[in-house]
Amino acid sequence: MTEAQADTLAEEQALEERASPFRALYEHWESTQWAVHQLDLSTDAETFASLSEAEQKGMVWIFAHRFHAEFSVATLLAPFLAAAPDYEMQLMLATQTADEYRHLQCVLRIYDEVFGVTGGIEAVRALADQNIDPVAAMLYDALDRSILVLREDRSLEAFVKAVFAYHLIGEGVVARTAQNLAVGQYEKLGFPGLAAGQRLVARDEARHIGIGVSFLRRCMAEERERTVEALTGSVEEFVSLAERGLELGKGLEDVLRDGYGVDSNAFYAEAMRLFNIRMRSIGFFEDE
């Protein structure tokens, strides 16, 4: 790891684990823009072409997760933005909307230029749907339920639950676990463009996690009892989902090793490590 990469990781960790003023998060967004079209994917395309058929299928399976994750979160942001309780949170979610569609565009470019999948988003979506697994399907369904309720329920409790599900769990635990494990695999297997893109996406998502941490930390400071009460059921649901995911993951050991370099137990352990960090970051426990 270079010194610059180490500095970036330290900055991301600070964003994810400590509350920040929304103004600082906005300025970070303005100063860290990047362009999907500038990623060099030529070596990645050559590497993909050299893989065996089984290895290619494993890579496409991993990116089915990437596509569904980015497509899902991008389309869920409209009700989120409409339900934001104040201008500052609206601004944060507006910047995040731009980020998520850029991430989706990055995935679509990889499908096109590395995997050779033509036909645009509809073709990619059809292929990704063929590679969805029961763990991912379960998690996406839970995320949808937590966010779409905002179309009808504009209460603070509903918004707190949505931020927890989206920013802390969806991005801060599930997506971050996959990113932490995948970037090393990309470099190891000879996909420098994918690795570079993953690092840029991770930097954006560190800020997204920071948005959730900052908002929930503020709620804890202003109305702790109400916030804890709102989150308790969501926390218990995630723990149950994680245990169910570990059980289902036992049937995915081969693709987990090919895509992430770990087995289901290691994936679960990393997810729970991040979950505990997120809970400490928002001050869910009295002694934090």
For residue 172, which of 65, 24, 275 has the smallest C-alpha distance?
275
What pLDDT sits at residue 288?
44
**pLDDT (tens digit per residue) in 243-277:** 888 887 777 777 677 767 778 888 888 899 999 99
Alpha carbon distance 185, 179 (integer Å): 10
Report whether 107 contacts 44 (CB < 8 A): no
40: left (phi over 0), alpha (psi -120 to 50) or beta: beta
Domain residue spans of the chain: 3-279
What pLDDT sits at residue 5?
64
- The model's pTM: 0.90
On the CB side of 190, CA atoms within 13 Å amount to 12
Report whether 60 contacts 115 (CB < 8 A): yes
The proportion of the chain whose per-residue pLDDT surpasses 70, expressed as a percent, equals 95
Q: Taking the chain (288 residues) in consecutive chunks of 10 residues, what is each chunk's mean pLDDT?
A: 67 86 95 96 96 85 83 84 94 94 94 94 90 80 89 94 93 85 78 92 94 96 94 92 82 73 83 93 75
Which residues have CB under 8 Å from 11's CB, separation 6+?
Answer: 206
**pLDDT (tens digit per residue) in 149-159:** 999 999 999 99
CATH of domain 3-279: 1.10.620.20
Distance of CA 278 to the CA centre of its chain: 14
For residue 279, which of 226, 220, 203 has the smallest C-alpha distance?
220
